[in-house]
Amino acid sequence: MTDKIRVDMADLTLAEMAEVGETVGETLDVALAGPRQPLAVAAVAWVVRRRSDPTFTYEAAKQLRLGDIEMIGADAHPEAPGASNGASPQPSPASGVSTPSTS
């Protein structure tokens, strides 16, 4: 695969979310957090790629590598060593002496 499939979870339609759930046998949020996560990621990539390529199949999506997919948005994205969701890390609290509140 030459082009990454960019999946913005916020851009999924409700129908696409339902279709992913039907495909993997449980709701998208549950599937993305459990042992069916790889199948859910494949299903999401499938419905997104199918927008531009109606011949793209779920079976083809299951052959993708994590590097073939860029998932952004929402908290539902695959956790893999070295994977990036494109977001910057949260800043650390400033160093210095902590002063208790007087209120």
Over the chain (103 residues), the average pLDDT of each successive run of 10 is 84 95 93 92 96 96 95 62 47 56 61
Q: What is the pLDDT at residue 90?
A: 55
CB-CB contact of 73 with 49 (8 Å) = no
Considering its fold, how many domains does the chain have in total?
Answer: 1
Residue 15 is assigned to a structural domain of this protein: yes
Nearest alpha carbon to residue 40 among 92, 88, 77: 77
Q: What is the pLDDT at residue 73?
A: 81
Q: What is the pLDDT at residue 74?
A: 61
Nearest alpha carbon to residue 66 among 44, 42, 32: 42
Q: What is the pLDDT at residue 84?
A: 45
* Global pTM value: 0.69
Q: What is the pLDDT at residue 80?
A: 44
Residue 86 is assigned to a structural domain of this protein: no
Q: What is the pLDDT at residue 91?
A: 55
Distances (CA, A) of 61 to 1, 2, 94: 10, 14, 44
Residue 19: which domain range? 5-72
